[in-house]
Amino acid sequence: MDPEFAAALAEEAANTPIPSGPPTIEQIRASFVQHVITPHKTYHEQRLPSPSSYILQDKHISGDAGDILVRCVTPAVEDGNKKFPVLVYVHGGCGVVGSIELDDFHLRRLSVDLQLVTVNIEYRLAPEHPFPAGIEDCYTALKWVAENALSLNADLSQGFLVGGHSAGANFATVLAHMARDDPFFEGRQLTGQLLREPWVVHPDAVPDSIKDEYKAIEENQNNPPLTRGMLLGLYQIYGAPPTDPRFAPLLYPSHAGLPPAYFHVMDLDPLRDDGIVYEKALRAAGVKTRIELYNGVSHGFHLNFPQITLAKNVREDLKEGVRWLLKRGD
């Protein structure tokens, strides 16, 4: 284990009371705010670019079950006619916890640093809104971006990316499949996927052909911040059938024709092999891929502990990965 990560985990454990019983959904969400959203947001808040360097717009778009909030950030430049690529981003939290606040400040920084539009989606959560409510909200938002790119100063031909972390990366993989197969996106297809520590299959639905490759869920089952027990509990709350490809995108019958994908995978993560087997499946289907594996750290460590050296490395690699998806790199 990375020494800085180990020290940060030990300090957090020493300052966190041991729960007396199974947590309620309210307690799970409060813990996520305390240990994930707050440290990540605070870190980036202290490093925000000048407010004059970007334009922030909160849009409420019409969904099947009510309005969906999307937070849009566009770089501010002297040339008001300048257009930018766009990244549609989905927050993590297993479809149960999290909010638009998790990645808000980080996405503002990315928008300015990389000169691209970011669209951050606030989707419905389980158990109040079980699967596939969150996916449906995100797909509605993705279609809205495709139709309203010009109002955001976005040019889809420069890059139309979808991405996220953990559950957000799961959602992104599903959205990519849905968009590939939907005539609505003809002439405005996605051009890249940003997949950070994705889940792609339920442990009970792993195909026999890859079971020997899918070991991390057991090898890393007790590694915080996300243990196997926590993961399976959240899956249950999310309420998706384990074999539904909209929950387990590895099970889609074909991955051919998907846009290029950039992956982040953590070696000590129970979900490590999700990213590895999915990258392999995409590559076998002819999809261009690039994958980064980080040793000594576990799931979402860069959110809980954004100040440690490896978290800084992850953020720098992320920017290079986005540049690669936008064909600005090699």
* Active-site amino acid positions: 166, 269, 299
Smallest Cα–Cα separation from 202: which of 157, 155, 255, 239? 239
3-state secondary structure at position 57: strand
Question: Is residue 255 helix, strand or coil?
Answer: coil
| Cα 227 to chain centroid, rounded | 18
What residues form DSSP beta bridges with 226?
none
- Contacts of residue 36, Cβ cutoff 8 Å, sequence gap at least 6: 98, 102, 225, 300, 303, 304
Q: What are phi and psi of 135, to 5 degrees?
A: -60, -45
Strands (E), 189-324: 192-196, 261-266, 289-294
- Nearest Cα neighbor of 264 from 196, 198, 180, 179 is 196
